[in-house]
Amino acid sequence: MLFTSTEFLIFLPIVFLLYWFVFQKNLKLQNYFILAISYLFYGWWDWRCLFLVIFCSGINYLAGLKLASDKNIKSRKLVLSLSCVFSIGLLGVFKYFNFFVDNFISAFASIGIHLQARTLNIVLPVGISFYTLKALGYTIDVYKGKLEATKDMIAFFSFVGFFPQLLAGPIDRATTLLPQFYVKRTFEYHNAVEGMRQILWGFLKKIMIADKCAIYVNEIFANHETLPAGTLVLGAIYFAFQIYADFSGYSDIAIGTSRLFGFTSMQNFNVPYFSRDIAEFWRRWHISLTTWFRDYLYIPLGGNRGTKFHVVRNTFIIFLICGFWHGANWTFIMWGLINALYFLPLLLLGKNRKNTDTVAHGRILPNIKELFQMGTTFALAVFAWIFFRADSIGQAFSYIGHIFSKSLLSAPKGSGAAHILPLLLIMILLEWFQREELFATAKIGYTWPKPVRWSCYAFIIFLIGMYMQTTETPFIYFQF
């Protein structure tokens, strides 16, 4: 079920009312209900893939129990390894199998050996990259002793399959989200209202920004060989905003929905395009994923400790895996590699934690230096996004090649600038003035009289209804 579908708009109020009026009596009922509606939500798309969610939950649940009861270091390591093999194995089979087979055949073909192998017609189960990391994170935490293994199967299965986060995160940690399934949720008016406001902002970003940008991005990338460089630059910039508005919009809807059910979820985006360097960008972009990789991969590999060689190696490993996590295509690996190259100088010079506060803290406008830094970081991010968006490495290089052509200084043509730029400007301004809040509209209008506030919300809903695309556009991160 898509958040932007009519089914979800009907599903949400029904389950909300049932949750708070019928199943609020005790904790068990609440968890049973959460589990049932989560599986219904997921099964709506394809019930067969539900078995993978159950399998992944089951493996990690059993691993947790075994780790809790076993004190032997060797067997604990074995349990953890098995859990990793099964969880990552799911990803390997369903997401990367064809990629590896194809590349294996190509590699042999390049040295004159022609192999024949069949790729499988595998459907990529939506959300598999998210729930496997979530479940695996739990097992690793139990292994490390950061978390006690749960015996409550329903709570654990509900945690893994929690419907607002099931399809595209945030990848909340077991240490923070799982305990919320152990205590009975009570309704809080303020929390629910905030959740609604965040959902509305998420819808606005997805429908008014991401879907609008998508039209022009698709057109520009498909016809990049015939378009002037100015248009191609705009196309790349639009994609930067499309992917941000799409994914952060999804995260806002997911977090807001979680709040409606009494759960607190982690912030997934924190105005990443106001970053002053790439290190800051990565602290603000897809936070739940980057921190997951940091805690469960980068730090165990040694992090910034050890020799320069180790630091460089770890940085490349983390970025390449992060890129590959996004999809079975060389374009994503290249995107990861470029970001590693951006990040490395900062790390080696010890400047990767230079900008940990919010830009222009306590001031309305940034200074010239900050503006330049933000502009440079954004330009670097946009350049890397070209690889992320392109269908192949070849297309990405062709796109970049056409940007650096004679028409570089020409005016963009047919880029939809008149339709999109005002919307982007509004979003950027809102985010700038609320950059220290959880989401851009967190404080706007909160103290206004109710009729004015409601009129603003109604106007936003009207704008969505009047200008949304009439064909459903899935969230980009569903494919990951």
- Give residues in contact with another protein (CB under 8 A): 6, 17, 20-21, 187, 189, 192-193, 196, 454-455, 457-459, 461-462, 465-468, 470-471
Measured CA to CA, the distance from residue 41 to residue 380 in angstroms comes to 38
Question: What's the min distance (Å) between Cβ of 471 and another protein?
Answer: 8
Question: What's the min distance (Å) between Cβ of 467 and another protein?
Answer: 5
56, 98 in Cβ contact below 8 A? Answer: no
User: Would the CA dihedral through 100, 101, 105, 108 be positive or negative?
Assistant: positive
Rank residues 356 and 470 by Cβ distance to another protein and give the closer one. Answer: 470
Rank residues 69 and 471 by Cβ distance to another protein and give the closer one. Answer: 471
Rank residues 255 and 468 by Cβ distance to another protein and give the closer one. Answer: 468
CA 300, 127, 313 angle in degrees (round to 5)?
A: 25
**Residue whose C-alpha is closest to residue 212's, from 238, 237, 230:** 238
**What does the CA dihedral 17, 22, 23, 24 come to, rounded to 10 degrees?**
80
Measured CA distances, 423 to 90, 206, 210, 241, 430 (Å): 40, 12, 10, 11, 11
Which residue matches tokens 């739990």?
Answer: 138
Q: How many CA atoms lie within 13 A of 361 on its CB side?
A: 7
Measured CA distances, 51 to 46, 83, 124, 421 (Å): 10, 17, 13, 44
Within 8 A by CB and 6+ apart from 336, the residues are 319, 320, 321, 322, 323, 324, 326
Q: What is the DSSP string of 255-281?
A: HHHHHHTT---------GGG-SSHHHH
Rank residues 49 and 192 by Cβ distance to another protein and give the closer one. Answer: 192
Which residues carry out catalysis?
326
Q: Which residues of 211-223 are buried (b: 16+ CB within 10 A; e: fewer)?
A: bbbbbbbebbbee
Tell the burial category of 391 from Cβ atoms under 10 Å away from its Cβ (0-12, 13-18, 19+).
exposed
Rank residues 73 and 452 by Cβ distance to another protein and give the closer one. Answer: 452
Question: What's the min distance (Å) between Cβ of 470 and another protein?
Answer: 5
Within 8 A by CB and 6+ apart from 290, the residues are 282, 283, 322
Q: Which two tokens stand for residue 242?
A: 């499309």
Question: What's the min distance (Å) between Cβ of 211 and another protein?
Answer: 12
Measured CA distances, 317 to 93, 142, 148, 336, 377 (Å): 21, 25, 30, 9, 22
Measured CA distances, 221 to 196, 232, 302 (Å): 35, 8, 40
Measured CA to CA, the distance from residue 50 to residue 37 in angstroms comes to 12
